[in-house]
Amino acid sequence: MWRAPVRDLRDKLVFLTGAASGIGRATAVRAAREGAVLHLTDVNADGLVAVVEEITAAGGEVAYAAPVDISDHEAVRAMAADLTAAHGSMDVVMNIAGIASWGTIQALPHSTWQRVVDVNLMGPIAVLEYLVPPMIEARRGGQVVNVSSAAGIIGMPWHAAYSASKFGLRGVSEVLRFDLARYKIGVSLVVPGGVDTGLTETVQIAGVSNTSPTFRKLQARFKKRAVTPEQAAAAILRGVRKNRYWVYTSPDIYVAHLAQRYFPPGYVVAMKIMNTVANKALPEVGRAVREDT
């Protein structure tokens, strides 16, 4: 089954995480404009209220909204049970929520590794565990969307913990892509590159000084090439309508992925250059081993 199960979103029941900000918020707003019936969650309760108000004020429909930390397995289970009992099975399930914590292997504490994996990988897994089986039982088909990252494809500097979670979500998606096909449920794996969500102004990178001139230069370069959350949302919903597995939000990541697969020597050279440039931002203190706290 490669034909798109969800060719448009009008009157479709759409669930998505991370709805209060960034790509999640932009996707929720755009899906509402396309006629979706939204079911939203985010750990940020105030932000969630704000996006619901924005959507309903514009004439969109939000049938369900509740704050949930997706890393809390029992909370996700309870939310999914309430959601399914009250609204039935979803047509589209989108795992968009995530956190970004970067740093050198010397500087990243174990607690950061654990938190990143809990939110970015185990959270989406819990959502899939409890919302996909009702989709199968309903026999209406549907679409699952998992937002990975360019860091789920290529070896970006300082991204070891983040990549562990995003490569993991990519692996889950690769299996479900074929496992769910017989139920007419498509799977889309979104691999955003730079998306200017405002995080660039406040991001903290363990072992890296975000006040160094080199870091500021890298930050400016990122923002120059980054797409907006609205552009990323448009790419995601286009991927749903066309049942695309690989969904790129910017052409640079598509090119990087092609190079990795079809010209490995060029990819290796590019990654070495990227690391050399990035590591110029490392202060000497960042090279010291950080005691876990």
Residues paired with residue 102 on neighbouring β-strands, in sequence order: 205
**Active site residue ranges:** 162
Task: Confirm whether 107 is domain-assigned.
Answer: yes
CA 168/CA 163 separation, integer angstroms: 8
Assign residue 58 the CATH number of its domain: 3.40.50.720
CA 152/CA 166 separation, integer angstroms: 5
Look up the pTM and report it.
0.89
- 201 vs 188, which has greater pLDDT? 188
- CA dihedral of residues 242, 248, 254, 257 (deg, nearest 10): -100
Task: Confirm whether 123 is domain-assigned.
Answer: yes
Number of independent structural domains in the chain: 1
256-276: pLDDT as tens digits = 999 999 999 998 998 899 888
Q: HSE-up of 291 (CA within 13 Å, CB side)?
A: 1
- pLDDT computed for residue 203 by the predictor: 60
Task: Confirm whether 96 is domain-assigned.
Answer: yes
pLDDT surpassing 60 at residue 285: no
Task: Confirm whether 38 is domain-assigned.
Answer: yes
Task: Confirm whether 70 is domain-assigned.
Answer: yes
Task: Confirm whether 86 is domain-assigned.
Answer: yes
**Closest listed residue to residue 94, CA positions, set 33, 30, 151:** 30
> Which residue range forms the structural domain that includes residue 143?
13-287
Other beta carbons within 10 angstroms of residue 218's beta carbon come to 20
pLDDT band at 196 (very low <50, low <70, confident <90, very high): confident
CA distances to 108, 132, 143, 173, 270 from 180, rounded to whole Å, are 36, 9, 10, 10, 36
Task: Confirm whether 41 is domain-assigned.
Answer: yes
